[in-house]
């Protein structure tokens, strides 16, 4: 969810939209011309992703581009199509405020719109060729930045930071002063960090798009700068997606611990917000795998952060949120056992199913199983890098028996590589994107699974949640069996004792009213802060996939006891407060984010 956090770099925001070749703003001010020159002419103009389908743009008549529109409609829910286009986010979440640095959720189409004013440019994700979404409707800029810089280098980032620092001081006309603009890399997060609203009160904003930072390097003996120990590692740029790095690792007889979707950025907000993985029970979170990070901080300096230099920054970046430039990550080459289990849910077998899950999850976690409890089809896909095939079959015996007794399947097998697992069980079943979605979640402690009362409470909750929202989707990607060093990273300590990441979501349509959207947001907020908090009152949430309106997010939900130290480090590296985003470290309050609906308004 919240992938801004510490916000040291403006490197990341998440996915992004197609850019128009036609400038939409006059960049005649000399400062903008100077910026374009300093970044080698890489300053581009952007228009909304779906604009080619509309005959009005910001209420001005324009020509429909039939060929481009057909391509967009045919691929409107494709993550691979959207990730190549600057203006295209993935699913709908909430937008950010004008002129602040935020991390965009590449899963969230809503980041293309301003929810509180209903300003944006969406097609009907259920039927992208639905003419009702287009006819008589104006495609508006919404939250899409009119400017972005692509093909970044650290030199261009330094120049951009200098440009932003100038704009924040008196040398820049007062009406054009704004906080630092954003950086976008391929991400697939679920929180409310997005690009700034760019045209607002006559001001302009800028996005850095890191999609083209596609470098990958394999190291048989990687030694972080100024350190002495070596590791097998892969270094990836901010634009590299997990599908790319998984294939690259497989080509080098290795496995890269990462996320569960093709277009997640391997060195971005996924990792810096924590980074859960189906391999996390055995190998830790994304923050536990990082050996070194290279970033450009708001003072315009390229820094190397690892255990041996800039150690405070290294600690903060691994859990505080933000974006990276390059990251070097440990890799492995273990075997893996998998189980793909499905069944037909009925009114008479759901309780038994939830009891099998809840009663076995503690020992499954200890044995190294991680995966996803699915809602469609009902069942689960788990993977284990520790057990032999015989041990895996014995471990999953009760689940297999339940599946076979309920018109289901339970296939347990050994796969030759992680990339085989990824292409077979993830790529082939990836859900469509471009759907308005809001998410709420909690990390569920292992202790709840270890008492009769706790297990009964969990089963009762799952039955109630299913009745209200449908079968739950449960990522099982916490580092419960990983031998970590306490305090080594800045993620909430709740990660280290949690067994499940329990989620709930609500959707709405492209043409839903602001009242309907507010209702969906309120429903999930109440779900997270009433029902899930009742289950785990002393736990936290994964900042990238939490409720938009988390209460006391600093000290309770996102960072716990780590927050004060994170705030001090944020202040050290960003003393002038150039970087800001919704509910991240040191954020300046909701008043600066006018596109987030006020839930208290009826």
Domain boundary among 209, 235, 264: 209
Please tell me the predicted confidence (pLDDT) of residue 150.
Answer: 63
Q: Is residue 272 part of a domain?
A: yes
Looking at residue 30, what is its pLDDT?
A: 67
Question: Same domain for 90 and 227?
Answer: no
The pLDDT, as a whole number, for residue 17 is 27
- Which tokens go with 312? 């405070």
Q: Are 283 and 397 in the same domain?
A: no
394 CB burial (10 A radius; 0-12, 13-18, 19+): exposed
In degrees and rounded to multiples of 5, residue 22 shows phi and psi of -100, 120
Q: Are the beta carbons of 434 and 121 closer than 8 angstroms? A: no
Q: What are the start-end ranges of the E strands in 396-526?
A: 409-415, 437-445, 474-476, 498-507
Q: Is residue 566 part of a domain?
A: no
CATH code, 272: 3.30.465.10
> Is residue 203 included in any domain, yes or no?
yes
Rounded to whole angstroms, the Cα distance separating 303 from 297 reads 7
Question: Residues 267, 177: one domain?
Answer: no
Q: Does a structural domain hold residue 74?
A: yes
- Shared domain check, 508 and 375: yes
Instruction: Say if residue 513 is in the same domain as residue 490.
Output: yes
Domain end residue (candidates: 280, 303, 333):
333
Give CA–CA dist 593/194, Å, rounded.
11
Q: How far apart are CA 91 and CA 436, in angstroms?
A: 5
The Cα–Cα gap between 166 and 264 comes to: 33
Determine the pLDDT at residue 495: 97
Q: Which domain holds residue 30?
A: 16-209
Q: For residue 236, is it within any domain?
A: yes
**Is the domain of 71 the same as that of 46?**
yes
CA–CA separation, 146 and 52 (whole Å): 16
d(CA 23, CA 39): 17
Residue 299, helix vs strand vs coil? coil
Residue 599 lies in a domain: no
Looking at residue 272, its pLDDT comes to 83
pTM, full prediction: 0.85
Claim to verify: residue 143 and residue 220 sit in the same structural domain: no
Residue 570 counted as domain residue: no
How large is the C-alpha radius of gyration of the chain? Answer: 23
pLDDT in tens, 523-551: 999 999 999 999 999 999 998 889 989 98
- Whether residue 108 is found in the same domain as residue 138: yes
Nearest to 478 by CA among 512, 441, 437: 441
Tally of structural domains, the chain? 3
DSSP element (H, E) containing 206: strand 206-209
Give me the CATH number covering residue 410. Answer: 3.40.462.20
Reference 268, options 321, 193, 313, 207; nearest CA is 321
Q: Please state the separation of Cα 98 from the chain's center in Å.
A: 21
- 179 and 242 share one domain: no
Q: Consecutive sets of 10 residues in the chain, 602 residues long: mean pLDDT of each?
A: 34 26 46 70 81 95 97 92 80 35 38 79 95 95 74 54 50 33 38 30 39 77 94 84 90 90 77 90 94 81 90 92 63 77 94 98 97 91 94 97 96 92 82 82 97 98 95 95 95 97 91 89 94 94 90 89 93 81 82 81 56
Q: Kindly list the distances between the CA atom of residue 523 and the CA atoms of 204, 468, 497, in Å, as whole numbers in the listed order.
A: 35, 10, 28
Residues 432 and 535 in one domain: yes
The answer to whether position 602 is within a domain reads no
Tokens for 399? 């689940």
Q: Are 327 and 384 contained in the same domain?
A: no
Q: Please give the pLDDT value at position 189.
A: 35
The last residue of a domain, from among 307, 333, 359: 333
255-310 pLDDT, tens digit per residue, is 999 988 777 777 777 888 899 999 999 999 999 999 998 887 777 778 889 999 99
| 158's tokens | 């330094």
Segment holding 57, helix H or strand E: strand 56-57
Question: What is the tens place of the pLDDT at every residue in 413-447?
Answer: 999 999 999 998 887 767 778 888 888 999 999 99
Clarify whether residues 156 and 183 are in a common domain: yes
């Amino acid at each position: 969810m919240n992938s801004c956090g510490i916000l040291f770099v403006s490197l990341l925001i998440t996915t992004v939209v197609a850019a128009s070749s036609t400038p939409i703003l006059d960049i005649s001010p000399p400062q903008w011309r100077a910026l374009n020159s300093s970044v080698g002419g890489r300053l581009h103009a952007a228009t909304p992703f779906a604009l080619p389908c509309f005959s009005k743009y910001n209420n001005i008549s324009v020509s429909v581009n039939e060929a481009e529109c057909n391509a967009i409609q045919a691929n409107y829910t494709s993550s691979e199509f959207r990730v190549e286009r600057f203006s295209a986010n993935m699913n709908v979440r909430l937008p950010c405020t004008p002129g602040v640095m935020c991390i965009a959720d590449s899963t969230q189409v809503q980041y293309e719109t301003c929810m509180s004013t209903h300003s944006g440019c969406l097609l009907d994700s259920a039927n992208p060729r639905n003419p009702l979404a287009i006819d008589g409707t104006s495609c508006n800029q919404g939250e899409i930045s009119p400017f972005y810089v692509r093909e970044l280098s650290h030199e261009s980032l330094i120049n951009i930071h200098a440009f932003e620092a100038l704009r924040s001081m008196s040398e820049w006309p007062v009406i054009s002063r704004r906080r630092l603009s954003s950086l976008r890399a391929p991400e697939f997060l679920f929180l409310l960090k997005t690009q700034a609203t760019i045209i607002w009160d006559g001001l302009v904003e800028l996005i850095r798009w890191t999609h083209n930072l596609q470098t990958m390097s394999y190291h048989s003996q990687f030694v972080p700068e100024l350190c002495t120990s070596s590791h097998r590692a892969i270094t990836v740029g901010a634009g590299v997606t997990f599908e790319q790095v998984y294939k690259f690792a497989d080509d080098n007889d290795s496995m890269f611990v990462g996320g569960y979707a093709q277009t997640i950025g391997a060195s971005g907000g996924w990792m810096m917000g924590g980074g859960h993985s189906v391999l996390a029970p055995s190998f830790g979170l994304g923050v536990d795998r990082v050996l070194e990070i290279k970033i450009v901080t708001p003072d315009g300096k390229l820094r190397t952060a690892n255990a041996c230099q800039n150690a405070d920054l290294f600690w903060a970046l691994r859990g505080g949120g933000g974006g990276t430039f390059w990251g070097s990550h440990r890799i492995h080459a273990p075997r893996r056992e998998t189980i793909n289990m499905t069944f037909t849910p009925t009114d008479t077998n759901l309780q038994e199913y939830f009891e099998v899950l809840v009663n076995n999850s503690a020992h499954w976690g200890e044995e190294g199983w991680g995966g996803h409890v699915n809602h469609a089809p009902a069942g689960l896909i788990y993977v284990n890098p520790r057990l032999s095939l015989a041990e895996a079959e014995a471990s999953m015996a009760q689940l297999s028996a339940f599946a076979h007794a309920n018109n289901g399947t339970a296939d347990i097998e050994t796969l030759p590589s992680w990339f085989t697992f990824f292409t077979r069980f993830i790529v082939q079943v990836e859900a469509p994107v471009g759907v308005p979605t809001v998410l709420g979640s909690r990390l569920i402690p292992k202790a709840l699974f270890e008492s009769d009362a706790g297990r009964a409470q969990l089963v009762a909750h799952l039955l109630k949640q299913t009745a209200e929202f449908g079968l739950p989707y449960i990522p099982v990607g916490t580092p419960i069996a990983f031998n970590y060093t306490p305090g080594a990273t800045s993620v909430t300590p709740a990660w280290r004792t949690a067994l499940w990441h329990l989620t709930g979501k609500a959707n709405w349509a492209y043409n839903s009213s602001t009242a309907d959207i507010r209702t969906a947001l309120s429903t999930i907020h109440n779900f997270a802060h009433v029902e899930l908090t009742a289950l785990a009152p002393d736990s936290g949430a994964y900042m990238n996939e939490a409720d938009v309106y988390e209460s006391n997010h600093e000290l309770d939900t996102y960072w716990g006891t780590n927050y004060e130290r994170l705030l001090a480090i944020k202040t050290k590296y960003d003393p002038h407060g150039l970087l800001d985003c919704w509910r991240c470290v040191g954020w300046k309050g909701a008043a600066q984010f006018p596109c987030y609906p006020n839930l208290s308004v009826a």
